Amino acid sequence: MDTESARLRAGEAYELTADGGISHHVRTAHRAVPLKDGDSIDWFLEESLERQRSQRLRSQGFFFPLLEETRMWLVVVLTGVGIGIAGAWLDVLVKWLVSTCARVVHKSDILLAVAELIPWGRSINNGPIRALSQTFIYVSLAIAFAGSAAILVKTYAPYAFHTGIPEIKSILNGYVLDAFLTPWTLLIKALGLALAVASGLSLGKEGPLVHVACCMAFCLSRFFKQFNYSESRRRKLLAAAATAGVSVAFGSPLGGVLFGLEELDTFAKEGEVMWRGFVASAIAAMALQWVNPFGTAKLVLFQVTSGSNTWRGFELVPWITLGVIGGVLGSLLIRINVEVALYRKNSLLRDFPVTEVVAFSALTATISYMVVFCRVQSSELVANLFQECDPAKGDYHGLCNPSAIWENVFLLLLTAGIKLVLTAWTFGMMIPAGIFLPTIAIGACLGRAVGLLTQAFQRAYPKAWMFASCPPDPTVRCISPGFYAVIGAAAMLGGVTRMTISLVVILFELTGALSHVLPIMVSVMTAKFVGDALGKDGIYTVWIAMRSYPWLPSVEPRDQGQTGGDFMRPFEDLVVIEDGVNTVQELEDHLKHWDYRGYPIVDGQTLIGYVTHDNLQVAVDHLDGGNDSSAQTRKCVFAHKSSFGDDGQIDLSHIVDQAVLQLRKDTPQEVVISVFQKLNVRHVMFTQNGKLLGMVTKSDVVSLLTSHFPHSGALATGSPGDWAPWSPEEVEG
């Protein structure tokens, strides 16, 4: 919380305490106390703050609202340009690191120089010793890169570890975690990401880039007062930034928008947000294209050069098979990842995160150096696997050798297996790490293997009935294994993330394979079906559940006939404030004794309203500090009455929450949950005939919806990242 916004919020709080006498209708909304990390924002309140501000501006003429809009767009555009350039330079940096590294390993300049100096040195430069020393340098460099990334993260910005997408999902849902978006985190995440990618660990840059984009937008937003006024406005900006991040990560402007739509689940709320994400995404992609890191002036990263644009009906069989494999292995990857995360949390590893990174990067580098497909950067591997065999272009590690099909299939499956295990471990270590690229690499290996097998089968039995649709000329290619790799990648991603439409769009923007949208759709569909059967949640949802963020999944809830009444906290268990009964002194004692988010106000059992702890605290403090020494013993009234104060009572009706939602207690549980999901409220009261029967809070609903996952909250405290435990948002007794 910087001082500017703290001052601002405190200012608002002061305004509140001063307007006790203002009439009911013109009273304004306030944040009584600054939001702090771990809070959840009150969407109703934030929206009204934004509304008040824009009304005030509109009342000052048309210029100010225009300026306000311009500022919003300015931040959107700057974020887009910024992340575009940052993404491009990150690529350049990684390329430079990797190529330098490769030069060192292959030329072994220093080693050669040393060898020249000593008399028996020449013999070192040949044979197994040379190979060993190359391996040693390769591994050392990997360790150096990964280790420095881990040290950077641990020392300067513990929030820069992992992918960041679970946190961004939660923040967009209303969670407050400003420490996650500081300039420091921005810098460390970007730098650490470059090092981590260059280290050859099994991770991608996609998720972290989204985090970087959000950090940029957040830091920029700090310069403009309007975003400090309203957290909901800031979240709309962050949503746009996140789409820009995806847009740059994949060179996929549409995919970015759809990712925001499907995975971040923000645009469901308003078309305007979608529109802003669209603009941010387009601008970011343009900036990326302008910087042109690869000198191709193309956004398409892994251009697929499929000779034939058509596909045959029988190919649906291997494609659906790939979908099934993707669903199964995706679920497996999630499960291993969860187990690793739990093991890390509950073992010695917890205290030595940097050591873990160093050791694991040494292991990764050693294994990778032995398996030829693992040795290169994942992106290079994927680009080659997506490529069709073309004699003019040369053969990538013998992949196109028709006489070595079984060897190639074995090598591809081995690579996929190794990468699966490495990825499951890496995703969660103390370094910036995305899951997209490794998943694509695993899927591409599997897909290429299935493609090679299908091709071999077709070549062996060209006359079989199912291959009748292939061209009769055996020299014409009927099956394109490169495209099978794309399908495999789609299926694997579907299994791991459980995204659908955004995946398809990202994949075909990534490959340019527009003509093959349908097969990609089919495999993603199958993978999701199979994956969902093995466990409902994608990897991001699982991490959110493990970290216990107050994030409401947008799943359709299924009750067994329960009603709201069945899972509300009944009236008897609630800590309430009686209207017109308590004196200021008693309220003070109450506030000291209880530490809940807020309290329903009742008269007998009749519901009067709801007041938050913070608002009540500020009001009581003000009364306490006032000149009127008799205030302590006067009773407080919360209901709005025509003649208040006549018998010495203090009117506190202005601090009662404006928007309290009431439902009947026999409202079906599903409806109650969808009220929370759609309106983003923090609590709902159940009343009947005006009487308060009970209430349900957002945290009740979150824990209900994540209860099916066995490890909910497993990482909520004391994770390797020294993660602040999530302080339960509402704990009404």
Q: From its phi and psi, is residue 167 left (phi > 0), alpha (psi between -120 and 50) or beta?
A: alpha
Taken in order 400, 401, 406, 408, is the CA torsion positive or negative?
negative
Determine which residue in the list 299, 449, 591, 702 makes contact with its own copies, applying CB under 8 A. 299
Determine which residue in the list 373, 386, 508, 726 makes contact with its own copies, applying CB under 8 A. 508
| CA 471 from centroid of its chain's CA atoms | 46
- In the block, tokens 């409806």 appear at 671
Nearer to its own copies, 282 or 450 (CB): 282
Determine which residue in the list 139, 157, 274, 440 makes contact with its own copies, applying CB under 8 A. 274
Q: Which stretch binds its own copies (CB under 8 A): 348-356, 471-479, 519-527, 619-627?
A: 519-527
Instruction: Kindly state the smallest distance separating residue 224's Cβ from its own copies, in Å.
Output: 20
Nearer to its own copies, 73 or 156 (CB): 73
* Integer Cα distance of 351 and 347 in angstroms: 8
279 is a contact residue toward its own copies (CB under 8 A) = yes
Instruction: Kindly state the smallest distance separating residue 126's Cβ from its own copies, in Å.
Output: 48
Determine which residue in the list 22, 67, 476, 518 makes contact with its own copies, applying CB under 8 A. 518
87 is a contact residue toward its own copies (CB under 8 A) = no
Closest CA to 206 of 162, 150, 153: 162
* Angle between the N-to-C axes of helices 231-250 and 253-262, in degrees from 0 to 180, rounded to the nearest 10: 130
| CA 321 from centroid of its chain's CA atoms | 29
Q: Which stretch binds its own copies (CB under 8 A): 122-130, 484-492, 655-663, 705-713?
A: 655-663
Instruction: Kindly state the smallest distance separating residue 515's Cβ from its own copies, in Å.
Output: 7
State which of positions 38-57 bind its own copies (CB under 8 A). 44, 47-48, 51-52, 54-55
Nearer to its own copies, 154 or 516 (CB): 516
Nearer to its own copies, 3 or 309 (CB): 309
Determine which residue in the list 37, 380, 559, 624 makes contact with its own copies, applying CB under 8 A. 559
563 is a contact residue toward its own copies (CB under 8 A) = yes
Determine which residue in the list 365, 409, 435, 504 makes contact with its own copies, applying CB under 8 A. 504
Determine which residue in the list 36, 106, 678, 708 makes contact with its own copies, applying CB under 8 A. 678
State which of positions 689-728 bind its own copies (CB under 8 A). 689-691
Contact 513, 310 (CB under 8 A): no
169 is a contact residue toward its own copies (CB under 8 A) = no
Q: Which stretch binds its own copies (CB under 8 A): 148-156, 271-279, 467-475, 538-546?
A: 271-279
23 is a contact residue toward its own copies (CB under 8 A) = no
Nearer to its own copies, 185 or 247 (CB): 247
640 is a contact residue toward its own copies (CB under 8 A) = yes
441 is a contact residue toward its own copies (CB under 8 A) = no
Contact 524, 492 (CB under 8 A): no
Give the total residue count for the chain. Answer: 733
Q: Which stretch binds its own copies (CB under 8 A): 185-193, 461-469, 588-596, 607-615?
A: 607-615
298 is a contact residue toward its own copies (CB under 8 A) = yes
Nearer to its own copies, 132 or 517 (CB): 517
Determine which residue in the list 5, 135, 289, 377 makes contact with its own copies, applying CB under 8 A. 289
Nearer to its own copies, 19 or 37 (CB): 19
271 is a contact residue toward its own copies (CB under 8 A) = yes
- DSSP secondary structure string for all residues of 42-71: -HHHHHHHHHHHHHHHHTT-SHHHHHHHHH
State which of positions 300-319 bind its own copies (CB under 8 A). 300, 309-310
State which of positions 521-550 bind its own copies (CB under 8 A). 521-522, 525, 528
Closest CA to 662 of 606, 623, 703: 606
297 is a contact residue toward its own copies (CB under 8 A) = yes
Tokens representing residue 158 in the block: 């513990």
Closest CA to 511 of 487, 527, 491, 495: 487
**Alpha helical stretches, state H, 173-270:** 183-198, 206-221, 225-229, 231-250, 253-262
| CA 316 from centroid of its chain's CA atoms | 33
687 is a contact residue toward its own copies (CB under 8 A) = yes
Determine which residue in the list 430, 663, 695, 704 makes contact with its own copies, applying CB under 8 A. 663
275 is a contact residue toward its own copies (CB under 8 A) = yes
Other CB atoms within 10 Å distance of the CB of residue 280: 35
Tokens representing residue 145 in the block: 């890169």
658 is a contact residue toward its own copies (CB under 8 A) = yes
| SS3 call for 432 | strand
Nearer to its own copies, 361 or 687 (CB): 687
Closest CA to 603 of 646, 566, 653: 653
* Integer Cα distance of 640 and 162 in angstroms: 50
Q: Which residues contact 618 (CB under 8 A, 6 or more apart)?
A: 13, 16, 17, 32, 33, 655
Q: How many residues bind its own copies (CB under 8 A)?
A: 87
Instruction: Kindly state the smallest distance separating residue 497's Cβ from its own copies, in Å.
Output: 13
Q: Are strands 650-651 and 636-637 parallel, antiparallel or unpaired?
A: parallel
State which of positions 444-473 bind its own copies (CB under 8 A). none
Nearer to its own copies, 427 or 610 (CB): 610
| 162 bridge partner residues | 432
Dihedral of the alpha carbons of 148, 152, 158, 161, in degrees to the nearest 10? -50
* Integer Cα distance of 550 and 44 in angstroms: 17
Instruction: Kindly state the smallest distance separating residue 664's Cβ from its own copies, in Å.
Output: 6
Instruction: Kindly state the smallest distance separating residue 336's Cβ from its own copies, in Å.
Output: 26
Q: Which stretch binds its own copies (CB under 8 A): 148-156, 161-169, 397-405, 558-566?
A: 558-566
133 is a contact residue toward its own copies (CB under 8 A) = no
State which of positions 223-242 bind its own copies (CB under 8 A). none
Number of H helices, E strands in the chain: 27, 9
Nearer to its own copies, 535 or 609 (CB): 609
Nearer to its own copies, 47 or 729 (CB): 47
| SS3 call for 635 | strand
* Integer Cα distance of 491 and 168 in angstroms: 25
Closest CA to 549 of 234, 119, 167, 133: 167
| 650 bridge partner residues | 636
* Angle between the N-to-C axes of helices 183-198 and 127-156, in degrees from 0 to 180, rounded to the nearest 10: 170
Tokens representing residue 140 in the block: 């050392």
| 599 bridge partner residues | 611
State which of positions 245-264 bind its own copies (CB under 8 A). 253-254, 257-258, 261-262
